[in-house]
Amino acid sequence: MKPDEHRIYGKNVAIRGEAVKRFWTRQAATATGTAGTLLGNHGGEDLTAMKNALDRKLFRECTEGKKQRILEFGCGNGRWAELLADVVESYAGIDFAEEFIAKARALFQGDGRFRFAVGILTDLPMEFIRGGGRYTMGICSGCVMYLNDGEARKFYESVEALPVEALFFKEKVSTMEQRLTLVDFPSKELQTDYNVVYRMPSEYEEFYRSALPGFRIARKGWEYPEEKGIWAETNTYYWHLVRA
Ligand SMILES: C[S@@+](CC[C@H](N)C(=O)[O-])C[C@H]1O[C@@H](n2cnc3c(N)ncnc32)[C@H](O)[C@@H]1O
């Protein structure tokens, strides 16, 4: 592949799911703290602390600080669980990286409010999910960008049918008028080939309109304004959706 074949603007091209899985399996093996799921920090403690603080603040604003029964899709080793522990009534987290789940279980061992399971977004572990009854919030943060369009639709359609009252979604998105897809992109910073789809926010909203018709967007926006100068083509966008 020539360099520009790894970095594709505009066109809808598929990323390689098995490379995504390999990437996160390796990341899970080397992660030391829960912020090991945050990429692009250049090892910067300040940036990690800033992202954690903004995530926590934003979630609390959307939920008015009320206690939550949370279901998280793509939970890593429990970054959101840790950030929100004081408002958690119950928490169930799913991730396909076994080592993230093992680390999350070890971190919350002895606290019966927290449950974790290995599972994939496109075929959710229903028995585990049903075991938590009704949820006040479904969180999915930085995961659908690793799914191709058909898989993303399938995931959202399955979320529509779950006993979840509201959703808090955030994704790294394109700040341009077109999507950017990295296919087996040789990333120096991540020291591996990287696959990801940076969609436009409007593309996510089209998914929500068509695959999540039972929800409406209550609040949305850019989350980390500070990043704009660092990564000119991408930034983080969030949506708070509630049952319509
Ligand atoms: C950028 S990290 C975000 C983790 C966490 N949500 C956070 O905000 O810290 C992406 C996470 O999604 C998980 N993941 C990616 N694709 C997945 C899939 N198809 N099924 C389940 N988990 C997936 C990865 O293992 C990883 O933990």
Q: What is the pLDDT of residue 193?
A: 86
CB distance 143 to ligand 1 below 6 Å: yes
CB distance 141 to ligand 1 below 6 Å: yes
Q: What is the pLDDT of residue 45?
A: 67
DSSP class of residue 83 equals H
Residue in the block written with tokens 């091209």: 13
Q: Pick the closest to residue 235 from 153, 170, 186 (CA basis).
A: 170
126 within some domain: yes
Q: What is the pLDDT of residue 43?
A: 54
2 within some domain: no
223 within some domain: yes
Domain holding 25, by residue range, is: 7-243
CB distance 74 to ligand 1 below 6 Å: yes
Q: For the chain, which ranges sit under pLDDT 70?
A: 1-3, 40-45, 189-191, 225-231
148 within some domain: yes
CB distance 37 to ligand 1 below 6 Å: yes
163 within some domain: yes
CB distance 120 to ligand 1 below 6 Å: yes
Give nearest CA residue, ligand 1 atom 26.
Answer: 76
Q: What is the pLDDT of residue 224?
A: 78
Give nearest CA residue, ligand 1 atom 11.
Answer: 74
CB neighbour list of residue 200: distance below 8 Å, 6 or more residues apart: 173, 174, 176, 177, 178, 179
Amino acid, res. 129: I
pTM (2 d.p.): 0.95
Enter the tokens of residue 191.
């020291």
How many structural domains does the chain have? 1
Do 123 and 147 touch, CB atoms closer than 8 A? no
Separation of 142 CA from ligand 1 center, angstroms?
Answer: 7
Q: What is the CA radius of gyration of the chain?
A: 17
CATH number at residue 228: 3.40.50.150
Pairing of β 215-222 and β 234-243: antiparallel
168 within some domain: yes
Give Cα 242 distance to the centre of its chain.
Answer: 18
1 within some domain: no
Q: What is the pLDDT of residue 189?
A: 65
Across 110-139, b (16+ Cβ under 10 Å) vs e yields eeeebbbbebbbbebeeebbeeeeebbbbb
